[in-house]
Amino acid sequence: MRVGGAFRARWGRTGRAARWAAAGTAVALVGGGAAWGVGVTADRASRVETSDQRIAVVDGPRDDQRVTLDTTFYRPAGRADVPAIMLGHGFGGSKRDIADQARRLARHGYAVLTWSARGFGGSTGEIALNSPDYEVKDTRQLIDWLARRPGVRLDGPGDPRLGMAGGSYGGAIALLTAAHDRRVDAIAPMITWHSLADALFPDAAGAGPSDGVFKKLWASLFFTGSAGRTACGRFLPSLCEMYQEVAEKGRATGSAVETLRRSSPSSVADRIRVPTLLVQGQSDSLFPLDHADANARAIARNGAPVSVVWFQGGHDGGDPETERIEGLVLDFFDARLKRRPGAFDGGEFAVTRAGGLDSSTREVVVEEATARTYPGLSHDPVRLPLGGGEQTVYNPPGGSPASISAMPGLGSLGSGALGAFGPVGGPLAAERPGQFAVFDTRPLERPVRLTGAASVRLRVDGDGPLFAKLYDVAPGSGGAATGGTATLARRLAAPFRVSRGQDVTVTLPAMDHRFDRGHRLRLVIATTDLGFATPAEPASHKVRVVSPLTVPTVRALTTAPTPVPAWVWALPLVAVALALLIVLSGRRRPAPARPQDSDVPLEITGLTKAYKNGHLAVADLSFRVEKGQVLGLLGPNGAGKTTTLRMLMGLIHPDSGEIRIFGHRVSPGAAVLSRLGSFVEGPGFLPHLTGRDNLDLYWRATGRPLDEAHLDEALQIADLGSALDRPVRTYSQGMRQRLAIAQAMLGLPDLLVLDEPTNGLDPPQIREMRQVLVRYAAAGRTVIVSSHLLAEVEQTCTHAVVMAGGRRVAAGPVAEITGSGRRLEDAFLELIGETS
């Protein structure tokens, strides 16, 4: 099934493991690439020169740690004075992951430096999580290195024109380096964090990370993903110990929060003053959209221009939109580094939205909506009352089974488009019975497009972490939250911690989601989530809402119509033009009529026809037939008789010469053919129709009035009796023959051409036929009979044309051809050169 196949493809794609390691750059690993060493290889096809080198740096809190970084430098061949871009890789990756993107940027005129961060790939050192003491110092020394490279444009001594970009881990280093080093001129961080502490210990009630809910699944993937010789792999031992402590407790410690904050742009956001393009994923449970929002607001506060883009992908999977995002980044750098302001005019805010599924490409159609200004996450709110009174939810002992929202490492189940209309129930139930409370709005009277983070005020009697989620409930049968028509919007959950008896304002996950007319918004408060640490002791909470649901909207976001490729319009136009050319070219102009010949039934002059295989069927044939004649066309097999008659009917184009009937030149479909009745090379009837219907429909096809058909006379000649009303396929050869001659005589044409008319007829019928032909000509019409039965010609015809090898060998009255006292047979054999 096509549709089924499409969905299988989607499920398979989102199920890819360890998506986050690729860190949103979503470029395929490039095989091979550049060789180790300092050899310079010029890629001729792309005109990009690459060189690999290990760059020694010194870092650490006391600047005493020596680390060598594995780097690759790409630059467009033959161009000097180009701006530079430093491209960082994602967590768990290396410089190789971003080789393709680097090459593409270089091809557009940038010197690109990629490096494996300390602790990754071929670089030495240990992972310090983008610490200002370690990684930031490393990148600053890479900038020093860049400034010394020939061909890199400098804004001042030691200050290259520099942009930084990268996804996730590589995005955070861009933000942090921009804060610590004034030489960075523009940054384009993707799917990265604002505060690592908030990302790993989120609290949607706004209490901060120290009491946040531990995002255990993501954290474990983060810290143990590179495990090697030690439990923490290449992490700094202090970081490893920190993780082990918080993972064991399931709660943040003060030192952990402090360490994570130092690795976060949030700690230095007031120092980032460069133009920034923030790209954040809508399928991202690790660094949700609110991290980009916090970064954007902090940088904008410093007076720097900021643009925010929400795309379909993210750490959970979804459409990476690689081409679109890379194009945006390139435009951004063109505008900021090459100082071409017109290159980037996307406005401050762009959201890509999943439209329908294109069943042919099996991909979701993604539309882009843009707004001039960045609206934030709580713009223009709509308040929707929530129904459902106080409900009690239970925390299961051991915190298991847990409800499921996003699945780190597996990608989110049904993220992206499928999340928008795929079933949520099925094999993986999202919610566990007894563990969740449900609050529904009324069915929407008009669609609501949520853009930002919805919020609601709750009163919870209890203590512990809870999870707030927003479902889209389609009208119909779906009753429970696990029903087939309730969809967890974006599969995101907002964890928050409550203390006894307190009202809390919970900010739900930020997203862009359209709730259709008739749908309901459903707030679900659950006690467990597989991705988070929840307490093991059983508990119960009474939950009720004390405010309407506040749903932010951004009406200024407008979607440009999805452009279709130019070929969609060009192709049919070109095709139609081509079609006209094909049809109109090579038309033959009909020759003018010769009125003075209009009483000459047939005149053939210089007629020649050679078939494609080279066989010369008719060569320079000329003869003339006068009114009232019965002309016999004689010749052995292959003499060209039938070819001549076919040309006479306009079925075959002569190579040269012409045929004129009553002065009009014969061409395919020439009107004068209406005065010709023909029976050539056997009958041609529709076998499924009766003889009568065949004649009737044939006559109707000629378009002439029925009363001109003289059908009765024709039928008399056919002499078929009752067989006339049987299908033709039941006829004998002779019956078809007679019917065909009758068809030729329909309308009593002025010129009647019959090819072997007596084949298959019995002697009385032959005799009858002979009389019919003689009488026909006697009425002032003309008959041409082609035959090899010489006796018949002798008895019927007044004139004869003898052909052999495509040529006329004799013509004239039959009596003249035979001479006196000779039989036609002798004369014929003599003429065609086979004298006995």
Partner 1 sequence: MTTPETAPETPHATAPGPAHASPAEPEPEPAPVAASEAAPEAAPVTASEAVPSVTAYDVRRTLPLRVEAVRQFRRRRTLVAFGILLVLPWVLVVAFKAGGDPGTGGVPGLVDVATSSALNFALFALFVSTGFLLVVAVALFCGDTVASEAGWSSLRYLLAAPVPRGRLLRQKLIVALSYAVVAVVSLPLMSLLAGTVAFGWADVELPTGGTVPVSTALGRMAIIVGYALVSQLVVAALAFLLSVTTDSPLGAVGGAVGLVIVSNILDAVTALGSWRDFLPTHWMYAWMDALQPEITWTGMVKGAAVSTAYAAVLFALAFRRFRGRDIVS
Q: Which of residues 506-535 bind partner 1 (CB under 8 A)?
A: 516
Q: Which is nearer to partner 1, 517 or 542 (CB)?
A: 517
Give the residue with the Cβ less far from partner 1, 125 or 416. 416
> Pick from 501, 538, 684, 813: which binds partner 1 (CB under 8 A)?
684
Applying CB under 8 A, which part among 270-278, 281-289, 303-311, 664-672 lies near partner 1? 664-672
Member of 39, 61, 433, 595 binding partner 1 (CB under 8 A): 595
- Told to check if 108 binds partner 1 by CB under 8 A, we report no
Q: Binding segment for partner 1 among 101-109, 216-224, 236-244, 559-567 (CB under 8 A)?
A: 559-567
Q: Is 747 in the site for partner 1 (CB under 8 A)?
A: yes
The phi, psi pair for 276, rounded to 5°, reads -130, 135
Please say which residue, 341 or 682, places its beta carbon nearer to partner 1.
682
Crossing angle of helices 254-262/237-249, nearest 10°? Answer: 130
By the rule CB under 8 A, 564 interacts with partner 1 = yes
Strand partners, 470: 523
Among 777, 790, 801, 809, binds partner 1 (CB under 8 A): 777
Q: Does 722 bind partner 1 (CB under 8 A)?
A: no
Is 636 or 663 the residue whose CB approaches partner 1 more closely?
663
Query: Least distance in Å: CB of 283 to partner 1?
Result: 18
Look at the block and give the residue holding tokens 């309407």: 548
Q: Which residue has the tokens 């040309």?
A: 647
Q: Does 721 bind partner 1 (CB under 8 A)?
A: no
- CB nearer partner 1, residue 273 or residue 324: 324
When asked if residue 680 is in the footprint of partner 1 (CB under 8 A), the reply is: yes
From 342, 701, 721, 836, residue interacting with partner 1 (rule: CB under 8 A): 701
Per CB under 8 A, 586 contacts partner 1: yes
Helices 216-224 and 237-249, axial angle in degrees (round to 10): 150
- Give whole-number Cα distances, 748 to 399, 724, 799, in Å: 101, 20, 21
Which of 392, 559, 716, 733 lies at the binding interface for partner 1 (CB under 8 A)? 716
Q: Where are the beta strands (DSSP E) in 286-380?
A: 306-311, 349-358, 363-371
Our CB check for partner 1 shows the closer of 338 and 710 to be 710
Between 34 and 666, name the residue whose CB sits nearer to partner 1.
666
Residues 6+ away with beta carbon under 8 Å from 189: 164, 165, 166, 167, 170, 171, 172, 174, 175, 276, 277, 278, 279, 295
Read out DSSP for 697-718?
HHHHHHT--GGGS-HHHHHHHH
| Interaction between residue 733 and partner 1 (CB under 8 A) | no
Give the CB-side neighbour count of residue 133, counting CA atoms within 13 A.
Answer: 14
Q: What one-character-per-residue DSSP string does 447-510 give?
A: -EEEEEEEEEEEEEES-EEEEEEEEEE-SSS--STTSTTEEEGGG--EEEEE-TT-EEEEEEEE
Give residues 299-328 in contact with partner 1 (rule: CB under 8 A).
Answer: none
Bridge partner list, 495: 467
560 scored as a contact of partner 1 (CB under 8 A): no
φ, ψ (nearest 5 deg) of residue 667: -140, 165
Chosen residue from 355, 396, 548, 638 binding partner 1 by CB under 8 A: 355
Asked if residues 584 and 627 have their Cβ atoms less than 8 Å apart, the reply is no
- The yes or no reply on residue 778 touching partner 1 (CB under 8 A) is yes
Instruction: Say which DSSP state 209 is in.
Output: G
Taking the least distance from each CB to partner 1, the nearer of 23 and 714 is: 714
Contact between 361 and partner 1 per CB under 8 A: yes
Q: In the set 155, 270, 708, 762, which binds partner 1 (CB under 8 A)?
A: 708
Cα pseudo-dihedral 740, 744, 747, 750, rounded to 10: -160
Residue 749 interacts with partner 1 (CB under 8 A): yes or no = yes
- Measured from the CB atom, the residue of 723 and 752 that comes closer to partner 1 is 752
**DSSP letter, residue 650:** T
502: left (phi over 0), alpha (psi -120 to 50) or beta: beta
What letters, b where the CB count within 10 A reaches 16 and e where it falls short, cover 323-352? ebbbebbbbbbbbbbbeeeeebebbbbbbb
Among 156, 389, 703, 764, binds partner 1 (CB under 8 A): 703
Member of 575, 730, 813, 815 binding partner 1 (CB under 8 A): 575
Nearest approach in angstroms of CB 414 to partner 1 is 10
The neighbour count for residue 570, using CB atoms within 10 Å, is 10
Among 157, 303, 780, 833, binds partner 1 (CB under 8 A): 780
For residue 697, state whether it binds partner 1 (rule: CB under 8 A).
Answer: yes
Q: Does 15 engage in binding with partner 1 (CB under 8 A)?
A: no
Nearer to partner 1, 311 or 662 (CB): 662
User: Counting contacts by CB under 8 A, is residue 590 touching partner 1?
Assistant: yes
Contact between 582 and partner 1 (CB under 8 A)? yes
Q: Does 624 bind partner 1 (CB under 8 A)?
A: no
- Applying CB under 8 A, the site for partner 1 has a residue count of 107
Q: Does 428 bind partner 1 (CB under 8 A)?
A: no
Place of tokens 């015809």: 797
Q: Which is nearer to partner 1, 388 or 628 (CB)?
A: 628
- Asked whether 203 and 179 are in contact (CB, 8 A), the reply is no
Q: Which two tokens stand for residue 543?
A: 């939950």
Q: Do 637 and 803 meet the contact criterion of CB atoms below 8 Å apart?
A: no
As measured in angstroms, the least distance from the Cβ of 551 to partner 1 is 20
CA distance 206 to 457: 12
